[in-house]
């Protein structure tokens, strides 16, 4: 990202409590959960980040702030990229849904919900996307074993 554009972004987000980090050349904004919708709306409306490319969940497997979600934003006009990172609670990972800002968040959040059990509040259609509906676990959490849990998926009887 160009230096002056990064400064413009920093200036316009002054009111929010943001920690600026760097993900190997791409700026990463670590924000508070409550600010997520506000920052996202501002980034979309005023700073031309028109595309939400991806959302990924991360399980840090630690006591505090175990879960994270990272949103990958792209601006088609300025051709640059930005990551938004939100740290979530360990016991009850809840996060406001970005579907109101970008419609594409729908499936990305369903994936994070399926894989990590992160609850996106006021998501319109929060269902599992890969695993069957009756599956009880979240496969990408670090405490889910690689070999799977025997009996977690019911097999047809002989």
Partner 1 sequence: MPQTIYDKLKEGDPSIRRTKILEALESEDLYVIYSDTLENEMVLNMGPQHPATHGVLRLLIKLDGEKVIRAVPDIGYLHRGYEKLAENCTYHEYIPHTDRLDYLQPVHNNVGYALAVEKLLGLELTERTKYIRTICCELGRIQSHLIAIGSMIMDTGALTPFLWAMREREKIMDLLDLITGVRFTTSYTRIGGLAQDISDEALKGIKKFVEEFPGYLQDIRKLVDRNKIFIQRTEGIGYVSKEDLIEIGITGPVLRAAGIPRDLRKDEPYLIYEKLDFNIPTYTESDCLARYYVRVEEMLESAKIVRQCIEKLPSGPIKTPDPKQVLPYKEKVYTKMEELINDFILINFGNTPPVGESYQAIESSKGELGFYIISDGSGHPFRLKIRSPSFCNIQGLPLMLQDHLISDTVVIIGALDPVMGEADK
Residues binding partner 1 (CB under 8 A): 23-26, 28, 50-54, 56, 58-59, 70, 72, 76, 79, 81, 83, 102-104, 106-108, 115, 128-132, 139-140, 144, 146
Query: Least distance to partner 1 from the beta carbon of 104, Å?
Result: 3
Query: Least distance to partner 1 from the beta carbon of 108, Å?
Result: 8
Of 53 and 119, which has the nearer Cβ to partner 1?
A: 53
Of 32 and 81, which has the nearer Cβ to partner 1?
A: 81
Of 15 and 23, which has the nearer Cβ to partner 1?
A: 23
Q: Is 89 exposed, middle or buried (0-12, 13-18, 19+ CB in 10 A)?
A: middle
Query: Least distance to partner 1 from the beta carbon of 17, Å?
Result: 21
112-to-9, 12, 141, 156, 157 alpha-carbon distances in Å: 27, 29, 10, 28, 32
- How far apart (Å, rounded) are the C-alpha atoms in residues 108 and 55? 5
């Amino acid at each position: 990202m160009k230096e002056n554009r990064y400064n413009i972004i920093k200036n316009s987000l002054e009111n929010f409590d943001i920690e600026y980090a760097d993900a190997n050349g791409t700026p990463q904004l670590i924000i508070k959960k409550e600010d997520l919708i506000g920052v996202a709306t501002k980034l979309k409306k005023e700073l031309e980040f028109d595309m939400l490319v991806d959302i990924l969940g991360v399980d840090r497997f630690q006591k505090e702030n175990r879960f994270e979600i990272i949103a990958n934003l792209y601006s088609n006009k300025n051709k640059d990229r930005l990551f938004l990172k939100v740290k979530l609670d360990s016991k009850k990972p809840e996060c406001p849904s970005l579907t109101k800002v970008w419609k594409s968040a729908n499936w990305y959040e369903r994936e994070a919900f399926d894989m990590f059990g992160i609850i996106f509040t006021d998501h319109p259609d929060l269902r599992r996307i890969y695993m069957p509906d009756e599956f009880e676990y979240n496969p990408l959490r670090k405490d889910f074993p690689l070999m799977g849990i025997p009996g977690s998926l019911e097999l047809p009887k002989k």
